[in-house]
């Protein structure tokens, strides 16, 4: 899709407590949870229906599962606190893409869902540095990445 500015107040709220203790600390957990909230709101604004958030199994986690018409979309959300570490989407390498495909197949199997089409997207959320004075959060939605 493209880049879109999103107000930081948008998006359903959740605590992000599931991420506490995952090696990144409370700040990383809060940034990740905030990015997932922004991404969820972005999908809803685009007409998607959210089906699942932070679904887990022994093989890992799927951030968001959504439906758009007959397409079931599995979304990996990558959030950054500034542009210094590159595009959030760049964090999805070949190994991560293969893991996302395996997780999507497992979700489908466990939910006994047989959609007409399945797609894996990456949603990158970049929060501007506070000192920059810029408003808005950048959202980049890459469709069908793997």
Residue-wise over 14-43: b if at least 16 C-beta within 10 A, else e? Answer: eebeebeeeeeeeebbbbbbbbbbbbbbbb
Name residues whose C-beta falls within 8 Å of residue 123's C-beta, 6 or more positions apart in sequence. Answer: 39, 42, 43, 64, 75, 76, 77, 78, 139, 140, 141, 142
- Residue 50: CA atoms inside 13 Å, Cβ hemisphere, count? 20
pLDDT at 30: 87
By DSSP bridging, strand 3-6 and strand 137-142 are: antiparallel
Listed in sequence order, the residues at least 6 apart from 90 whose beta carbon sits closer than 8 Å to its beta carbon are: none
Would you state the pLDDT for residue 121?
96
Q: Return phi, psi of residue 100, to 5°.
A: -60, -40
pLDDT, position 88: 67
Please give the average pLDDT of every successive group of 10 residues along the chain, which has 146 residues. Answer: 40 38 70 93 97 96 96 94 74 90 96 94 86 72 89
pLDDT at 38: 95
Per-residue pLDDT at 92: 85
Tell me how far apart the alpha carbons of residues 64 and 37 are, in angstroms, rounded to a whole number: 10
User: What predicted TM-score, i.e. pTM, was given to this entire model?
Assistant: 0.78
pLDDT of residue 124: 93
Task: Write down the pLDDT at residue 25.
Answer: 80
Q: Give the domain ranges of the chain.
A: 3-142
Tell me how many degrees the CA angle 104-33-13 measures, rounded to the nearest 5.
105
Q: What number does CATH give the domain 3-142?
A: 3.40.1350.10
């Amino acid at each position: 899709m493209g880049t879109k500015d999103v107000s930081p107040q948008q998006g359903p709220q959740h605590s992000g407590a599931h991420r506490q203790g995952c090696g990144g600390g409370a700040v990383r957990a809060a940034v990740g949870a905030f990015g997932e909230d922004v991404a969820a709101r972005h999908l809803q604004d685009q007409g998607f229906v959210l089906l699942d958030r932070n679904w887990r199994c022994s093989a890992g986690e799927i951030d968001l599962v959504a439906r758009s018409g007959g397409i079931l979309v599995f979304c990996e959300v990558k959030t950054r606190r500034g542009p210094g570490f590159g595009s959030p989407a760049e964090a999805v390498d070949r190994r991560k893409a293969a893991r996302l495909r395996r997780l999507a197949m497992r979700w489908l199997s466990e939910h006994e869902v047989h959609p007409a089409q399945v797609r894996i997207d990456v949603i990158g959320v970049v929060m501007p540095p506070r000192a920059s004075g810029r408003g808005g959060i950048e959202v980049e939605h890459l469709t069908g990445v793997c």
